[in-house]
Amino acid sequence: MEVLEYDTTTILMPNITTAITTPMKHHHRENVQWLRCSVQNYDWGQKGRDSHVAKLFGLNSDSPIDPDKPYAELWMGTHESGSSFLVCNGEDRNGHLSFESECESLKSWISKNPNVLGEKVIQKWGADLPFLFKVLSVGKALSIQAHPDKELAKALHKLLPSLYKDDNHKPEMALAITQFEALCGFISIQELKSVLQNVPEIVEVVGISDVKRILEITEQDGQEKVKSALRSIFTKLMSASKDMITEVTSKMINRLHSESQVRQLTEKERLVLELEKQYPSDVGVITAYFFNYVKLNPGEALYLGANEPHAYLFGECIECMATSDNVVRAGLTPKHMDVNTLCSMLTYKQGFPEILQGIPLNPYVRKYLPPFDEFEVDSCNLPEQESTVFPAVPGPSILLVALGEGIMYSNSPRGDVIIEGDVLFIPANTELNIRSASRLQLYRAGVNSSFFHPSS
């Protein structure tokens, strides 16, 4: 039987999760707030218990998991499309504290207690969290998409508020939990030349003159000429008629099946066949050739600025972004596609994206620092009976217990049991000391450290 030190009391328990109904869990409320979080059941999510999102959501909300339903995203934050709520203390019939009742939304509570954000955060972003924290379980490809910069987001929100829900930009970062696959950013001009020479169906759609423009580009040509040629050919492909795309996709799939009998298909070709099964006759199947095919190992991260094309393909990840839900889609989706906006907004930057490995802060914690003020993510993997400290920082954080169980001490000497599925809001200037009872996997999202300590 495991013995846990808990303030001046010792708890004997075969399994720490039995402590959830004891009066000591969540006892102090002056600093850290426990959250009940929202789930999104988008069609591309992994189904039922296969989904890590489903498991975490079930534990967080005490909800049953529907085995036939896709569980795509767990949202932790203040965005109105998937608000988090504070968990209230109440008493059950035996006089024990019960934590199942929801209080007000985190957004509302922060607006009444803005000091929890810290002074600099309030000055820059007002009385709201500047980041949105998520867990994603991707069962099939998401749409080919990009997120608008602030200026475009404002214009789109004003023009089409039902489609573009807010006026903020949405830089984002995906940190792989499992092996994670994505399409991200345009391939180099050398790779694109090779694609155009080996995929005759693209030439059939866009025409020989655009293809020649690309093939004739030399190293002496400036970036603007390259971008202009890429924009032209990509826009032509994305704007092709549905009938044309159906016809050439069918030709391409038949050709690949036949060629697979005599040679090994490339990774990209195998991906194209898989995408066509998921989204038959979709322009995104052909467009996949234009993008880098990225495979992240667990613990590797990918970040995306505004106006960069991408599509997550498969796997599970932690995701963090600026607080926004703006998406401009143009392929691999049954949803509304805004091809003109997407093609005109993209940067057409080429080359393989930077992969972040995280900066080790101590033996157990790695920090992932994308080049965006709004957010950073810490990943903490704590072996059994080990301790670590999350130092006080000048901004707010959200902490997710992704696996295991332990005890957390914050600005008060009293400890709290934390278990898998717990999500906690940590106010600015709050130090956390955490001790594990089993292997403990935590993720913390907060405002980017460089925002508080810009390099001189």
Distance separating alpha carbons of residues 271 and 287, to the nearest angstrom = 12
Q: Map tokens 């209080």 to a residue.
A: 103
Verify whether residue 329 is a known catalytic residue. Answer: yes
Directed axis angle between helix 189-198 and helix 208-215, to 10°?
A: 140
The three-class DSSP label of residue 197 is: helix
Which is nearest to 408 in space by CA: 396, 390, 429?
390
Q: Is 96 within any annotated ligand binding site?
A: no
Closest CA to 332 of 249, 255, 264, 256: 249
- DSSP for residue 355: E
Catalytic residue among 36, 329, 366, 435: 329
- Whether 310 has a binding-site annotation, put simply, is yes
Q: How many residues does the chain have?
A: 456
Whole-number Å distance between alpha carbons of 448 and 453: 9
What residue has token string 């217990």? 401
* Residue linked to tokens 């066949």: 273
Nearest-angstrom CA–CA distance, 27 and 277: 52
- By DSSP bridging, strand 310-322 and strand 131-138 are antiparallel
Q: Determine if residue 52 is labeled as part of a ligand binding site.
A: no
Nearest alpha carbon to residue 349 among 219, 230, 202? 230
SS3 174: strand
Q: Check whether 145 is labelled as a binding-site residue.
A: yes
Sorted by sequence, the CB contacts under 8 Å of residue 159 that are 6+ apart come out as: none
Place of tokens 């988008």: 42
Tokens 């907004």: give the residue.
345
Q: Which of 29, 109, 117 is nearest to 394 (CA)?
A: 117
Q: Which of 395, 377, 397 is nearest to 451 (CA)?
A: 395
Cα angle: 80, vertex 81, 85; to 5 degrees = 55
Quote the tokens at residue 45.
């999510």
* Residues forming the active site: 329
> Which parts are annotated binding residues?
145, 147, 172, 310
> Which parts are annotated binding residues for Zn(2+)?
145, 147, 172, 310
